Amino acid sequence: MLDTPRFTEITSTADIRASRHGSRAKCLQRLIRMDLPVPQTVALPFETVREVARGDMPDLHTLISLFDGQPLLLSVRSSSEMSDWGGPGAVLNIGMNDTAHAWLSNTLGHQAADALYLRFIKSFAIEVMRLDEEPFAEITTPAAARATYEDEMDEPFPQAIADQLGAVLRAMARAWDGTSARLLRQAQGAPAEAGLGLVVQRMAQGMGAGQSGAGVVQFVNPATGEPQVTGRYMGQAMGRDALLARDKALYLTEDPRGPSLQDLLPEVYQELIEIGDACRRRLREEMQVEFTIDQGRLYVLDAVRCPRESRASVAIAASLARDGIIPRSEALLRVPPATLSRLLHRQIAPSAEREVLARGVAASPGAAAGRIVFDSAAAQASDARDEACILVRRETTPDDVRGMHAATGVLTERGGSTSHAAVIARGLGLPCVTGATGLTISRRKREMRLPDGRVLSEGDMITIDGSSGEVMAGEVPTLEPALDGAFGDFMAWSDDVRDIGVRANADTVADATLARTFGVDGIGLCRTEHMFFDPARLTVMREMIFAESSTDRAAALERLLPMQRDDFTELFTLMAGLPVCIRLLDPPLHEFLPSEGEGERALAAALDRPLSEVKQRGAALREYNPMLGMRGVRLGVAVPEIYEMQARAIFEATVAASRDGAEVVPEIMIPLVTARREVELVKRRIDAVAAAVQAETGTRFNFRLGVMVETPRAALRAGEIAETSAFLSFGTNDLTQMTYGLSRDDAGRFMSTYVNEGVYPEDPFQTLDIDGVGELLLLGAARGRQARPDVTLALCGEHGGTPEAINFCRLAGFDYVSCSPFRVPVAKLAAAQCTILATRTAK
Ligand code: PEP
Ligand code: MG
């Protein structure tokens, strides 16, 4: 490698690299190559700055001699490799001393010269020499500032520009090594050894005679990304002054609210517009430009990537691609997938003030404000009054689902990212915060105690942010979702490149409709139990569970059959030939039991049985450990009539939906399998039902029977299980729970401690644990594929919507991932990004 000079003047041909001099230095070179009026600039590479921090200064006299003209005033700005990594703030007017002050008093006038000198002494004292701000706060003259400096430092204020510059470079180099700067940049993904470059630039004065001032301009609206010139300009100002004193600054474009730069200096304004356009084309980005007008003449001091909110980042990338400035693949790579999720939901307005009352797990994205309600009945009453409400519960059960339908958001004291509340809320697209530590909820007293001891009552207004996990006081302003043209482009372009399927976990027609609008490849998981939570169906379901004789059970199932058939017919018709994977009943039956008290009384009335009998039967069905109890395929083996009814409903719906055209090939999935024999038992019965329905209807159809791999044993025995399974779909929620032996409903309580203590790098229910659970997936996939090479492999746990899991599944050769409908856009973009990056690496 060539020795890098200790500093280099930035010219159009100089060897300036972002990886050596930082992105600001590189950007300035690009501006110079575009012939923009950039003041003379010298770049110090990372290595030189490291040496400066160690006390080895480059030859500053030679550096200074590269600049011509008198008096010489310089600025120093930081230039890290990626602009997001930050860096110490700029120091302006280096070189201000008694001589420069006298000279500027003659040329710019006393006032301007005093202001410059005062400003420099203060910033040198506070930002460079780290003196306390306080003694300088009231000072208004350079002489007084100098005296205070000399008092505090016990040495004269440095007059030589080399001394001043040396001190500035040293202070900035050392600030980069400070702990807080290091932590901040590491949070942005910077490596531990990330370097800092510095750029030393001749000051273009925005103070003094004629039209002089400084401003900042950008050419798109930072919230929407739509073309719009925004920013401010202020006369007799420097750097970003105009943004700090907005009420004294001018608008840029003509504006009814006050005077503008366009009125004042139309040619300069026009020049700025052309610069914006040139930057967009040549730098392939929307830039924010910092400029100075020195006696009517425009200088471009700096340009950075225009700051933007989620919606704008999608709109800008899409518009650059549509205009042919960047390829579509580049546009897709520029937007982090999670950004799309923010577009689908209301968001807290970034500028909104908020009082955070508590924090929990960000369980389902989006923000919602509403009055607190403590149960489903109150939620429904509130909904009937057209009043937004937040359902606040210790944790939710199936009984709360109707309340969730009526609420605008859900907050629970317990639970994590895959607890009942979280899974249902994500399916409904409802903002949800679970496991809000420190909250104590009393439904009886209808109040909620906050971590600081304050108490909120039913009817009090709160806002929850399911994207950050925050619970806030009152109604915090939010931004509307934004599914505009740019969003549609992103979906279509992602579909063009991705090479792994993305299906949706959809239980209802509403979910499936939403999934279709996002253009899914099918339904990867229809959790049939969710179809029974409708109050009318719940009663029949309970009758079935409470049946003591098989005749009574058959009678209840007979009533459930047409309901299920209608559900499936609607789903198949809606999905029009796309695959639909229906999971047979999974949860422990007790989840359908009535709550104690009122629920039990209502059921006794519906069944026309004594309350004591209902209580007794309920108690008999309760299990110590229901998630490991009588659920999933165990139910199918022990009470086979339930799965038979479901299979019949699926097949009859297949026949009904196929009549309208598109061939329907249903997929039936058996949950919680642990052994081959379970699959064989269920398969035999399902095959018999299929044969019966074909004979009864005189219609032939195909179907695929597969297994949900969600117990460690199923992953280990995937070889023999695959022999009777057309597909293996990994349920990583239960698989994570069982691999860790960690309750998905309770882990929220201590997960943050675990993550903070570094026990787990992340909550494994949110981010797939590649090392442990991932190994089981690889093992299961390999054994399954070896036994049956054409076996379809999928992942349908909540992780299916996360970029890490998608990348993992793609590399492992899975056919598709499946996730809640609202995560589909994120999953599609993440899948497209994996493919693009993999193709680039392969080239
Ligand atoms: C799973 O366990 O990963 C899964 C998808 O099923 P459920 O969340 O319904 O248990
Ligand atoms: Mg499961």
Q: What are the tens digits of pLDDT across the range 201-216?
A: 999 877 766 788 999 9
- Residue ranges and CATH numbers for the domains of the chain are 3-97+158-202 (3.30.1490.20), 213-308 (3.30.470.20), 345-479 (3.50.30.10), 495-842 (3.20.20.60)
Q: Which residue has the higher pLDDT, 503 or 104?
A: 503
Quote the CA–CA distance of 523 and 513 in Å, as a whole number: 11
Question: What residues line ligand 1, using a CB cutoff of 6 Å?
Answer: 423, 525, 527, 586, 710, 731-734, 796-797
Q: Which of 796, 809, 819, 834 is catalytic?
A: 796
The answer to whether 731 is a known ligand-binding residue is yes
Predicted pLDDT of residue 83: 83
Q: Which of 815, 825, 810, 817 is nearest to 785 (CA)?
A: 815
Residue 367 in this model has a pLDDT that exceeds 90: yes
CA of 732 to the centre of ligand 1 (A): 7
Residue 1 in this model has a pLDDT that exceeds 50: no
Angle at which helices 550-575 and 640-658 cross, to 10° = 30
Task: Dihedral sign for Cα 546, 551, 553, 556, please.
Answer: negative
The answer to whether 732 is a known ligand-binding residue is yes
Report which bound ligand comes closest to the CA of 732. Answer: 1
Angle, alpha carbons 693-699-705 (nearest 5°): 60
- Categorise residue 632: left if φ over 0, alpha if ψ from -120 to 50, beta otherwise: left
Residue nearest ligand 1's atom 10 by CA: 734
| 279 annotated active-site | no
Partners of 602 in beta bridges? none
Q: What would the two tokens of residue 265 be?
A: 């200096």
Residue nearest ligand 1's atom 3 by CA: 731
CA of 627 to the centre of ligand 2 (A): 9
Q: Which of 420, 432, 526, 530 is catalytic?
A: 420
Counting from 1 in the atom list of ligand 1, the atom nearest the Cα of 737 is 2
| 796 annotated active-site | yes
pLDDT band for 3, please (50, 70, 90 cuts). Answer: low
Report which bound ligand comes closest to the CA of 420. Answer: 1
Give Cβ neighbours of residue 426 (< 8 Å, ≥ 6 apart). 363, 364, 432, 798, 820, 822, 823
CA of 775 to the centre of ligand 2 (A): 18
User: What percent of the chain lies above the pLDDT cut of 70?
Assistant: 99
pLDDT digits 0-9 by tens, 698-714: 999 999 999 999 999 99
Burial class (CB in 10 A: 0-12, 13-18, 19+), 323: exposed
Q: Which of 496, 672, 453 is nearest to 584 (CA)?
A: 672
Task: Say if CB 366 and CB 431 are below 8 A apart.
Answer: yes
Residue nearest ligand 1's atom 5 by CA: 797
> Can you tell me the mean pLDDT for 342-364?
87
Counting from 1 in the atom list of ligand 1, the atom nearest the Cα of 710 is 2
Task: Say if CB 101 and CB 71 are below 8 A apart.
Answer: no
pLDDT digits 0-9 by tens, 20-63: 999 999 999 999 999 999 999 999 999 999 999 999 999 999 99
DSSP H helical segments within 142-264, as ranges?
142-153, 161-177, 179-187, 241-244, 261-264
Mutate to test the pocket of ligand 1, among 527, 627, 730 (most ligand atoms within 8 A of CB): 527
Angle, alpha carbons 259-265-266 (nearest 5°): 100
Q: How far is CA 326 from CA 32, 84, 282, 626, in A?
A: 21, 21, 10, 54
CB atoms within 10 A of CB 68: 8
Predicted pLDDT of residue 2: 45
Counting from 1 in the atom list of ligand 1, the atom nearest the Cα of 733 is 3
* Highest averaged pLDDT of the listed ranges 66-75, 424-433, 455-464: 455-464
Counting from 1 in the atom list of ligand 1, the atom nearest the Cα of 505 is 5
Report which bound ligand comes closest to the CA of 424. Answer: 1
CA of 528 to the centre of ligand 1 (A): 12
User: What percent of the chain lies above the pLDDT cut of 90?
Assistant: 68
Residue 239 in this model has a pLDDT that exceeds 80: no
Mutate to test the pocket of ligand 1, among 507, 586, 633 (most ligand atoms within 8 A of CB): 586
Quote the CA–CA distance of 562 and 541 in Å, as a whole number: 13
Counting from 1 in the atom list of ligand 1, the atom nearest the Cα of 731 is 3
Residue 470 in this model has a pLDDT that exceeds 70: yes
CA of 167 to the centre of ligand 2 (A): 62
What radius of gyration, in Å, describes the C-alpha atoms of the chain? 33
Residue 344 in this model has a pLDDT that exceeds 90: no
Quote the CA–CA distance of 267 and 338 in Å, as a whole number: 42
Q: Which of 6, 165, 188, 169 is nearest to 86 (CA)?
A: 188
The answer to whether 583 is a known ligand-binding residue is yes
Sheet holding 297-305, edge to edge: 227-235, 213-220, 287-294, 297-305
CA of 734 to the centre of ligand 2 (A): 5
pLDDT band for 585, please (50, 70, 90 cuts). Answer: very high
The answer to whether 480 is a known ligand-binding residue is no
Residue 186 in this model has a pLDDT that exceeds 90: no
pTM (2 decimals)?
A: 0.81
Task: Say if CB 836 and CB 333 are below 8 A apart.
Answer: yes
Angle, alpha carbons 228-232-234 (nearest 5°): 155
Residue 819 in this model has a pLDDT that exceeds 60: yes
pLDDT band for 581, please (50, 70, 90 cuts). Answer: very high
The answer to whether 446 is a known ligand-binding residue is no
pLDDT, averaged across the chain: 92
Predicted pLDDT of residue 433: 95
CA of 337 to the centre of ligand 1 (A): 23
Report which bound ligand comes closest to the CA of 817. Answer: 1
DSSP H helical segments within 336-375, as ranges?
337-344
